[in-house]
Structure 1
Amino acid sequence: MTASTAFEQLCRTLAGTFQNRDQALADPAWYVHLRLWCSPTRLFVEDSVTFLIEQASAAFDQAPYRQRVLRIRNETDQLTAEYYALKNPLAWQGATQAPERLQALQPDDLQTLVNSRLSIQSRAEGNTIRFEARQQPGQYCQFVVNGETKLVELAFDAIATSPDNSIAAAFWMYDKGIDAATHKPTWGALHGPFKLIKTHDDSAQLPDPVSSQSA
């Protein structure tokens, strides 16, 4: 698979709505039933495809939370993912489900984050492709809340739909909060990834054509 083909397939895999109902039912002590939206934006279309991500409990009527922006690039045949924070998260709450609001998002609305870039490797897995996004070992994303530095270990897998549709697209989320003093994980995927399965596809909303971004 060429880097440009991998880039296009990864972006198509990410675009949509995901949930982990089966995982939460099987192990409710460790996994909340989450719904996650990964919606394409018009940001940075000159060299990348960028998504606004939000999540919420599927079991309760609550507003989306943990908003972040994910930028996917093909840099000299190396796929990368980079996260940004929103300067005013409340202003964009629910925008993943409101395309007219989402398209108003501008670079000035974003806040860069320290150590937020991940390298992505792709590999064949049976009759599908798995994309693995990882930070460098021992590296943590950093941001400040009320004067206190917070650390997050970032990682995800994106699993493409198989050609025969026997395997659904999925987003496995490994993110963990890290104690700044002990470097031990305190929240998130403490017992393995949240395994979210795509339930709605939004790849038609990607920049047209996606492949033009990977030249």
Structure 2
Amino acid sequence: MSKESLAHPLSVRLAFPFIRAALKLLLLFLGPLRTSGRQRVPREGALLIIANHLSYLDPPAVQLASPRLIHFMAGIELFERGDRITQFVKWWRAFPVKRGASDRRALAHALMLLKAGECVCLFPEGNLSEDGQLLPLQPGWFMLARKTGARVIAARVDGTQYVVPPGIEKFQKGKGPVTVKWSEPITIPEGDEQEIAQAMEAWAIEQLSPR
């Protein structure tokens, strides 16, 4: 695939300001969005965002908090619904991943996107956390960053679990605020792979764990 075919289509880029405005209005109604560290997000170049996963509202919250268009790994069930949500995630160039397992096809697609200089977000827990605590992290994100040299930034999300609780698709008015806090971006250092992997897992856990 060419870089042009992997990038968000022109229709998404043109619609993005309007979608951002609509998301802002929605979150203003449900509970305000508070963002910390937005200036840390690199505006260009390959970027891998890792985020904790509390709610179906997490991807819109992270996208709204980011200055860049993001390609999201989305649960394969969203692609199987056959409704407007399916149409939207496909139009936005999201790509499916099987929850709770290492999905090689999804990782390969993310690898292509990062090599093309795109911005990719994944939720390394692999599933929604039902109690707000961080679940064990799957190592796929480390492999992607190691192979592509992409910078990595963590987005710690909080409050979405009250606005759209796990297992519920209805919005709960006035349950905010929703917060997204960005870490400093990092690059995976050189060295012994096992030692670096352990250090990066510790870093990710520290950045994504609830405060």
State the TM-score, normalized to the length of structure 2. 0.31
RCO higher in structure (CA 8 A, sep ≥6): 2
State the TM-score, normalized to the length of structure 1. 0.31
The structure with the greater share of residues assigned to strand is 1
